[in-house]
Amino acid sequence: MKRILVVLILLCGFTIAQEKQISVPYTRVVLPNGLNVLMHEDHTVPMVSVNMWYHVGSGNEKPGRTGFAHLFEHLMFEGSKNVPEGKFDEWLEAVGGNNNGSTNTDRTNYWENAPGNALELVLFIDSDRMGYLPDVMTQEKLDGQRSVVKNERRQSYENQPYGLSWEIISKNLYPEGHPYNWTTIGSMDDLNAASLEDVIEFFNLYYAPNNASLAIAGDINIEETIKLVEKWYGEIPRGKPVPPIDPPAAKLTEEKILLYEDNVQLPRLYMSWITPAFYHPGDTEMDLIAKIFTAGKDSRLYKKLVYELQIAQDVIAFQSSNKLSSEFFIIATAKGGHALDELKNVIQEEIDKIKSEPPTERELQKVVNQTEAEFLDRLESIGGFGGKADLLNQYYFYTGNPDYFNEDLNRYKGIGTKDISAMAQTYLPGNGRVILSVVPKGKTELAVQKKEGGVK
């Protein structure tokens, strides 16, 4: 009988101890239906993690349906033709497993961690929803998860201090129509509008094996695993090619100064820029700049704002990396009695400084060392968010190379001090950013004030 494999690549990895290389050796198989399968053996504990990425996220949503990709994620746990409602979780828990999923702008991931002897059960229930979800989809299921997701929005955004900031920022950083113009959670109106037709259409468009990748890591035998994957996923038909999202690159050419009054005690400042996409030139430098700014008491912005001047309660900078482009944020909360302009002025001085004067070798080395240490942590867990199975999928999705661990680390090691300044000059302009002040109700005088003549 003919094997249905079309590609089989076996890569030999180096262990860290021998070569000082960080590597997660994997075996890749592509089924005829287009499903990419990535497998990695790790026998530390007798557990296995099955991790499926569908290459669809909130960026694929239609106008008027924001939040739909995430709502759909919820429906994937509500049963499929051969896995009755509620059984996905019950069967998994009954063998000692658990699961979760998440949605971002670019992709939706699902993972199940279970004892190794339950691998086939996991493949059965996960493949069943890839193949046979619409067969048993109902209005009741949709309405049920709509309520849950609306409560997720209430809990994680509306009932959180400063929780609605992200929505305002996305809307203002990206132009209308750009896939990153809205948040993954979506708006209440759009969640209310989602219909059963939308569910079926979305499934047919995006939830096909050729638009997904499956990583399996843990206490597995590769050959056995390949057979099981073929058995459970092989019968699922290939879908139509998925149209890529390819909007014109977003570019901000003005400084937007925005204000939001919230039910909070202290004002908070959000500064944000559009920056290079995940793993693209510049992305690495922005990661390092974020660390130079706020990683640790001795970092530049923390030291100034929180430690020395004590006008801020906290400050954090980070590069949020995505497929089309990324965002760089600096967020600081003022201490009582301080206005956000005070904070902004200090931050601006530090931005100007890093643009005009490269950091010292030692300062750069410090943040690279921190990054290098974090890479070791990534090798410890097989599953869950950020475990090895998830990372194989992440690297595959964003770079095409599942074992991108060493290249990923090397991109940080290869940065020079001048690169840092150059990228700060390019990507942290004063005339292309969104500044949002969130202030206590009625205290608009604490917000960053618009000035005549603009910012340099």
Partner 1 sequence: MKSIRYNVQCIMLFIFTMTFASSSFAQKADRSKVPPLGEPKKLSLPAIQTFELSNGLKVVLMEKHSVPLVQMNVIVKSGVVNDPEGKSGLASMVSDMLDEGAAGKSSLELADEINFLGVKIATFSRWHKMGLNLHSPLSKFDDALKIVADILLRPDFPQKELDRIRKERLTTLLQWHDQANMIAAVTFQKMLFGENHPYGRPTMGNETSIKSFSVDDMKSFHEKYFKSNNAYVVVVGDITKDKLVPKLESVFGKWAKGDVPVVKLKDAEQVKKRVVYLIDKPGSAQSVISIGRIGTQRVTEDYFPVTVMNTILGGSFTSRLNNNLREQHGYTYGAGSSFDMRPYAGPFVARSSVQTEVTDKALVEFFKELEGITRPIPADELTRAKNYVALSYPDNFQTVAEIAANIEEMIDYNLPGDYFNSYIGKVLNVGAGDVSKVSKRYIVPDKMVVVVVGDRSKIEEGIKKLNLGEIKHYKIEEVLGKKPQL
Q: Is 17 in the site for partner 1 (CB under 8 A)?
A: yes
SS3 304: helix
Among 94, 430, 444, 455, binds partner 1 (CB under 8 A): 94
User: Residue 9 or 148: which CB sits closer to partner 1?
Assistant: 148
Q: Three-state DSSP class for 54?
A: strand
Extract the tokens encoding 258. Answer: 């925005």
Tokens standing for 96? 């000692």
Site for partner 1 in 245-274 (CB under 8 A): 263-266
- For partner 1, give the closer residue by CB, 114 or 317: 114
Residues 128 and 53: their CA atoms lie apart, in Å, by: 15
- Contact range with partner 1 by CB under 8 A, out of 90-98, 247-255, 418-426, 444-452: 90-98
Q: In terms of Cα–Cα distance, which of 155, 136, 44 is closest to 85?
A: 136
- At CA 86, angle to CA 201 and CA 71, rounded to 5? 35
Stretch that binds partner 1, among 107-115, 170-178, 391-399, 446-454 (CB under 8 A): 107-115
Q: Print the SS3 string covering 311-374.
A: CEEEEEEEEECCCCCEEEEEEEEECCCCCHHHHHHHHHHHHHHHHHCCCCHHHHHHHHHHHHHH
CB of 157 to partner 1, least distance (A): 9
Pairing of strands 268-275, 98-103: unpaired
Q: Are 146 and 191 in contact (CB under 8 A)?
A: yes
Q: Nearer to partner 1 by C-beta: 253 or 265?
A: 265
Nearest Cα residue to 180 out of 321, 44, 51: 321
At closest approach, how far in Å is the CB of 8 from partner 1? 16
Q: Per CB under 8 A, which of residues 150..189 are in contact with partner 1? A: 150-152, 154-156, 158-161
CA dihedral (154, 160, 166, 169) in degrees, to 10, reads 120
Q: 112-151: which residues touch partner 1 (CB under 8 A)?
A: 113-121, 124, 127-128, 131-132, 134-135, 137, 139, 143-151
356 binds partner 1 (CB under 8 A): no
Cα end-to-end span (Å), the chain = 70
Rank residues 82 and 104 by Cβ distance to partner 1 and give the closer one: 82
Region binding partner 1 by CB under 8 A among candidate stretches 6-14, 65-73, 103-111, 235-243: 235-243
Token pair, residue 42, equals: 């790790």
Query: Cβ of residue 183: shortest distance to partner 1, in angstroms?
Result: 16
4 scored as a contact of partner 1 (CB under 8 A):
yes
Minimum distance from residue 350 beta carbon to partner 1 (Å): 16
Among 7, 9, 19, 44, binds partner 1 (CB under 8 A): 44
Cβ proximity to partner 1: between 179 and 387 the closer is 387
Nearer to partner 1, 395 or 412 (CB): 412
* Residues 412 to 441 in contact with partner 1, rule: CB under 8 A: none
Task: State the number of binding residues for partner 1 (CB under 8 A).
Answer: 106
User: Which SS3 state, helix, strand or coil, does residue 300 take?
Assistant: helix
- C-alpha span between 144 and 142 (Å, rounded): 5
Question: Residues 24, 28, 33, 190: which binds partner 1 (CB under 8 A)?
Answer: 33
* Gap between the Cα atoms of 417 and 55, Å rounded: 36
Nearest alpha carbon to residue 388 among 408, 402, 409: 402
> CB of 381 within 8 A of CB of 388?
yes
Minimum CB distance to partner 1, residue 178 (Å): 28
* Residue 83 DSSP label: B
Which of 177, 243, 336, 442 lies at the binding interface for partner 1 (CB under 8 A)?
336
Would you say 48 and 220 are in contact if contact means Cβ atoms under 8 Å apart? Answer: yes
Separation of alpha carbons 138 and 84, rounded Å: 12
Q: Which range in 78-86, 316-324, 349-357, 414-422 contacts partner 1 by CB under 8 A? A: 78-86
Minimum CB distance to partner 1 smaller for 280 or for 411: 411
Tell me 265's DSSP state: S
Instruction: Give the residue with the Cβ less far from partner 1, 113 or 213.
Output: 113
Binder of partner 1 out of 379, 425, 432, 443 (CB under 8 A): 379
Residue 71 vs 434, nearer CB to partner 1: 71
Task: Let me know: does 32 contact 4? Beta carbons within 8 Å.
Answer: yes
Q: Give the residue with the Cβ less far from partner 1, 147 or 356.
A: 147
Of 176, 246, 377, 452, which lies in the binding site for partner 1, with binding defined by CB under 8 A?
377
Q: Is residue 221 a contact residue for partner 1 (CB under 8 A)?
A: no
Mapping DSSP to helix (H, G, I), strand (E, B) and coil, where does residue 24 land?
coil
Instruction: Find the binder of partner 1 among 176, 244, 248, 297 (CB under 8 A).
Output: 297
Nearer to partner 1, 274 or 447 (CB): 447
Q: Which residue has the tokens 């050796």?
A: 25
The yes or no reply on residue 18 touching partner 1 (CB under 8 A) is no
